[in-house]
Chain A
Amino acid sequence: MVQVRVRMLGTLRDAAADSEDLALEGEVDVSGIVRRLVEEHGERLAGLLLDSVLLNPLPNALILLNGVEINNLEGLRTVVRDGDVLTLLPIAHGG
């Protein structure tokens, strides 16, 4: 069992939660966590997080694993480990 803390900032925290701990079975990558969050929190989070054509969060969000942007690791295929912290930042327009 792997425990991962997910932190969501900005408009995402309104659609989901500030922070939540996920218990995961087996080997899970970042895309698996994103899928699980969308399943848990439904359309509102999906609309903010996922690009509707690519069905991928990268155009809309900056994702950091333990403070490192995931494109600097293995992207959405980066495998998470016990104790990791995943931070999701919306790249909302306007500002």
Chain B
Amino acid sequence: MTEAAPPCTKCHEKPSIYLRPYSGERLCAGCFIDFVRERVARTIARFKMFEFDSRIAVGVSGGKDSLNLLHLLVEIEEKFPRAEVIAVSIDEGVKGYRDEALRLTEEACRRLGVESLILSFEELFGLTMDEIVAKTEDGELTPCSYCGVLRRRAMNEAAKRVGADRLATAHNLDDMAQTALLNMMRGDLRRLATMHPAGSDLRGFVRRVKPFCEVPERESTLYAYLKGVEFQGVPCPYAEEAMRTDIRLFLNRMEVKRPGTKFIVYRTALSIIPKLRGGTAELGGLCKACGEPTQGEICRVCQLLGELHKDI
């Protein structure tokens, strides 16, 4: 068998299993797990994400990041007996893919004793994602463009239904760095301003927070493996957001060549955000069709649904 690795640089006792390339630390499994939990707890505290009695809806897709976040929040919030954690999931209606993910979510909730709510695109919008893809095959928008807008609305609706005052999503460091670069390359400063992990209080929206925002996806993968989280075997058949994919591949290559690149992009974005309209995304009024908050007269959800339902 291959020789043992050098000792852990934190506990100096057990053999290390992971080299953190951006800091040079070598961690054993136990210290690695502690480090991820401490990082998430510190992120929550630094950005003042929760109150001591917050009712926290956690967006759980069934992927490793959201299952990790659910486990960690249940653990961290145990110290706050008046805080509550509820899992909220969205069934977009993607046969094969979402079935496996919902099964993993249900199993995790049962094990952790966490209340859960599943809302579907079909019940909220009258269409499954499979039906939307079939109807828009020749259109200009990708499936992710529809899914992103509708899922955001559905998550907010789910958080409202369970009476949550916070909606925690499992965006990791990679997601944050990709979003920062994506919005810079598109010149979309409004969206850049809304990516702040602490979220903001906007009328009609449950405040969205991202406690996992400083955990690199690589480390989330290792954490899930060490904690025995089951990995999804089926990828989303529609996942192809061309520009984000290019940026993801670019950042992953850069991270291998120059460790720390993702943290630098993320931190640079955070330092720019306060200079953009005070760091908040102002919303104009309420959508004339559905009454939800929007910048224009008709919200993006109603615009998309209007197109989709036109020929039903």
Contacts and interface: CB of A to CB of B under 8 A. Distances in A.
A47 B98 CA distance: 23
Contacts of B67: 95
Interface residues of B, number: 42
Contacts of B282: none
A65 B15 CA distance: 13
A95 B220 contact: yes
Contacts of B236: 94
Contact of A94 (B5, B225, B239): B239
Interface in B126-173: 170, 172
Contacts of A66: 1-2
B1 A56 contact: no
B18 to A, nearest CB: 5
Contacts of B66: 95
B64 A95 contact: yes
A7 to B, nearest CB: 11
Contact of A10 (B17, B233, B256): B233
A51 B6 CA distance: 29
B233 A84 contact: no
Given A10-B231, A60-B252, A91-B221, A72 B16 contact: yes
Interface in B1-42: 1-2, 4-6, 15-19, 21, 26, 29
Nearest to A56: B256
Interface in B196-247: 217-218, 220-222, 225, 231-236, 239
Contacts of B233: 10-11, 13-14
Interface string A54-95: 101011101011111101110000111111100101111111
Contacts of B89: none
Contacts of A13: 233
Contact of A72 (B19, B174, B239): B19
A54 B256 contact: yes
B71 interface: no
A53 B5 contact: no
A22 interface: no
A52 B249 CA distance: 9
Residue among B15, B222, B235, B248 with max Cβ neighbours from chain A (10 Å): B235
A89 B223 CA distance: 11
B116 interface: no
Contacts of B248: 93
A66 B61 CA distance: 30
A72 B5 contact: yes
Contacts of A54: 253, 256
B1 A69 contact: no
Contacts of A84: 1-2
Nearest to B174: A93
A73 B4 CA distance: 9
20 contacts: A9-B231, A11-B235, A51-B253, A56-B256, A59-B252, A69-B17, A72-B16, A72-B26, A73-B2, A82-B1, A87-B225, A89-B222, A89-B231, A93-B175, A93-B217, A94-B61, A94-B235, A94-B239, A95-B67, A95-B172
Interface of B: 1-2, 4-6, 15-19, 21, 26, 29, 61, 63-67, 170, 172, 174-175, 217-218, 220-222, 225, 231-236, 239, 248-249, 252-253, 255-256
Give the 7 A-B CB pairs with smallest separation, nearest first.
Answer: A95-B63, A95-B65, A10-B231, A59-B252, A72-B19, A9-B231, A69-B18
